[in-house]
Amino acid sequence: MNIQETKNQFENLKSSYDSLGRNVIESLKILLQNENIQTLSIYYRVKSSESFLEKITRKSYEKPFDEIEDICGIRIICYYQTDIEKISNIINKEFNVSESEDKETTLDYNQFGYRSYHLIASVNSEWEKTPNFRGLSNLKCEIQIRTILMHAWAEIEHSLAYKTELQTPIKFRRKLHRISAKLEEADEQFEELKIESKKYQIEVSEKVKKTTDDKLELNIDTLQAFMDANFPRRHKNLDSTGELLDQMVHYGITLDELSGHWKKIKPKFLDIEKEYLLENKGGFTKWAQPGIARFVLDLFNENFRKRLKSEQTRNKINEYKEKYFA
Report phi then psi at 264, rounded to 5: -70, -45
- Cβ-based neighbour number of residue 285 at 10 Å: 8
Q: How many C-beta atoms lie closer than 10 Å to residue 61's C-beta?
A: 15
Cα 276 to Cα 285: distance, rounded to the nearest angstrom: 11
The contacts of residue 307 (CB under 8 Å, 6+ apart) are: 247, 251
Residue 217 is among the residues annotated as catalytic for this protein: no
Which letter does DSSP use for residue 267 in this model? Answer: G
What is the torsional sign of CA 203, 209, 211, 217?
positive
CA-based nearest residue to 113, from 166, 186, 44? 166
CB 137 within 8 A of CB 127: yes
Neighbour order of strands in the sheet with 141-147: 39-46, 72-78, 141-147, 117-123, 95-102
**Of the listed 50, 69, 142, 206, which one is catalytic?**
142
What gap in Å lies between CA 189 and CA 79, rounded to an integer? Answer: 12
CB atoms within 10 A of CB 295: 18
Residues classed as catalytic: 142
